[in-house]
Structure 1
């Protein structure tokens, strides 16, 4: 039996990863599954929380989608191209951008590969997998619906912004380089604060736990948004633990660096499982979409206790991931890239 207790890893709350996995199914790399996608893109390890409301946009706020998703897909052996820039507040696409986006979609579908996009039937990620010039419609699927939208609705969903990601080509990646790059993404996200130009109090990585606890302590949590974040993050940490368990199983029987990586991954998987357990308990308190009563004093205090448990487990997990990264960098003849002091990155 899987030590996580969870047996089904074929679906996820992280719709960006679900869309990428759906695209990969139509390539020469069908061996990759959703656990691989969640791990090698770093999405299983992300946390971004608004310190006042636990805003519903947290999981996909404060990072460059095109660059981040493309980098993650490269770790899986794909060169990708993205279109559209996500800003705060959202900016609707121009007519030229929509025409270029439609051509981009049609070109990929003509090659037999769906395109990842945003905000089709609901503000989540999905795929466009067909088109009809006669009816001028796109065939689309997200976590809400499988159906058609008119060409004119591309980039004109509930949010009103355009984002597309398509697979351009595939290659056979070096597994050490892929794992190293995934770990760099994960550790950077955990350690390095992103400062937003709009001043919104989102905090990423390990600092996100402190932001979450602040919102509960202030009794300013928005119930629907909190339930969504709990669902996404608890599910993600279950994937994180499973991904690390697989990495351990793959590497630990080897000599030298393999045994080191495997042992560290095994221990990290346990810590992420403990974090997932605490977050799954939180998910039970605040089910989506009802949301529960996050600002009721007893509920808030219990939530803070569970978040503290998840935070402590994840801190230990990140320490081990950093150790894995150091081993891999040394094996590849690279100096450690761990920052000697926190670096602030600005997000527009």
Structure 2
């Protein structure tokens, strides 16, 4: 087994629920020759600003977006990559795409960079960190942090049978000004709801969550699903804040610092307080409603 020694250590995740694609992307770049861009790529690819919320708070909402945009978004953020995909209804190219993905994974591991892949061990994004052609087995690091192995034949054929493999290959020749301009464009486009999604996305995610916190019925507010959504998006706001701070955009940095703090407080309230108590639910709702005001102000300045 040719394997890299990689963990999630050093990837900022204030809740333990950081969106798995963003976490895997950050970790892959951190463990590449382009490590200085590891935190920045989470924002410059637009993922620090993305939010998706389904009416029933199903966690699958975070995987209901256009996977085939990954390469474009990441490269607009300054990191070159290769991407291989096979979706439902493409059974005729299933084996061909799987073989292409296996070859891409070999090349990336040989160059010392882990590979981002959908649905390894759990139905989230994680990292492929090694391979063994003799046993036809990958070493994998799922979002749970418990290393494991997966057969080549299972790539793209597990619980949710989609093949989605992204490999970091280089750093694009872009100025800092270009990266900032692209980031603002991607962020605003998503926040205003202009990316495809079947659920509430961008700024519309706020009322989709708040309605459950303000409801007379406490079931959804008290659910693990609420914890998942609050925990998934809170740390992403940190990456947005740090991006703007790093690039000297102080007004946007200040707004996203406040947005992050409110999301984090709402998450901590969900973890520590009884949200069956209406006052506690309303307090959490107010935190998100104020964060929405600040994020709308940020959009106006993008």
TM-score under structure 2 normalisation?
0.83
Partner of residue 312, structure 1: 293
C-alpha offsets along residues 257-302 of structure 1, whole Å, 9 cap, x if unaligned?
A: xxxxxxxx20111111211222111111223xxx975565333322
Q: How does 1:23-172 map to 2 (within 5 A)?
A: 23-34=28-39, 36-50=40-54, 52-61=55-64, 63-67=65-69, 69-85=70-86, 94-144=94-144, 145-172=146-173
Partner of residue 207, structure 2: 210
How far off is 1:303 after superposition? 2.5
Partner of residue 268, structure 2: 284
How far off is 1:180 after superposition? 0.9
How far off is 1:245 after superposition? 1.1
Counterpart CA distance in 1 for 2:246 and 2:263 is 21
How far off is 1:132 after superposition? 0.7
Q: State the SS of the aligned residue for 1:125.
A: strand
How far off is 1:148 after superposition? 1.5
C-alpha offsets along residues 184-242 of structure 1, whole Å, 9 cap, x if unaligned?
A: 1000011135565xxx5x21111211222223334362712211110111111122112
TM-score under structure 1 normalisation?
0.73
Partner of residue 220, structure 2: 221
Partner of residue 4, structure 2: none
Partner of residue 271, structure 1: 255
Q: State the SS of the aligned residue for 2:81.
A: strand
How far off is 1:129 after superposition? 2.3
How far off is 1:16 after superposition? 1.5
Counterpart CA distance in 2 for 1:14 and 1:149 is 22
Q: CA RMSD in A?
A: 2.8
Counterpart CA distance in 2 for 1:277 and 1:26 is 28
Contact 2:255 2:294 in 1 (8 A): yes
How far off is 1:168 after superposition? 4.0
How far off is 1:176 after superposition? 1.6
Contact 1:115 1:128 in 2 (8 A): yes
Q: State the SS of the aligned residue for 1:274.
A: helix
Unaligned 5+ runs, structure 1:
1-7, 249-264, 323-348
* 1:107–1:121 Cα change, 3 Å: same
Q: How many aligned residue pairs are there?
A: 286
Bigger drift between 305-314 and 155-164 goes to 155-164
How far off is 1:312 after superposition? 0.8
Contact 2:78 2:173 in 1 (8 A): yes
| Higher Rg | 1
Contact 1:194 1:203 in 2 (8 A): no
* 1:313–1:25 Cα change, 3 Å: closer
Q: How does 1:170-249 map to 2 (within 5 A)?
A: 170-194=171-195, 196=197, 202-218=199-215, 219=217, 221=220, 223-248=223-248
